[in-house]
């Protein structure tokens, strides 16, 4: 999508995480973008966000 294209173009690591559900029961998510080479830290953060 247009919101993720710039991240891919810059070669940055990114992950999308479901953070909850809205009143209609649909998933709400967020994308977290990290610095180059921060893949492991980004995945650790994603796990923390999903289990919170």
Cα torsion 32, 17, 6, 13 to 10°: value is 60
pTM for the full predicted model:
0.74
CA 34-35-36 angle, 5° bins: 120
Tens of pLDDT, residues 12-46: 999 999 989 999 999 999 999 999 999 999 999 99
Residue 1 pLDDT: 67
Segments making up each domain of the chain, as ranges: 5-51
């Amino acid at each position: 999508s247009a919101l993720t294209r710039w991240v891919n173009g810059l070669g940055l690591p990114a992950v999308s995480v479901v953070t909850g559900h809205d009143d209609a029961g649909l998933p709400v998510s967020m994308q977290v973008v990290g610095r180059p080479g921060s893949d492991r830290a980004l995945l650790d953060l994603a796990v923390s966000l999903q289990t919170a």
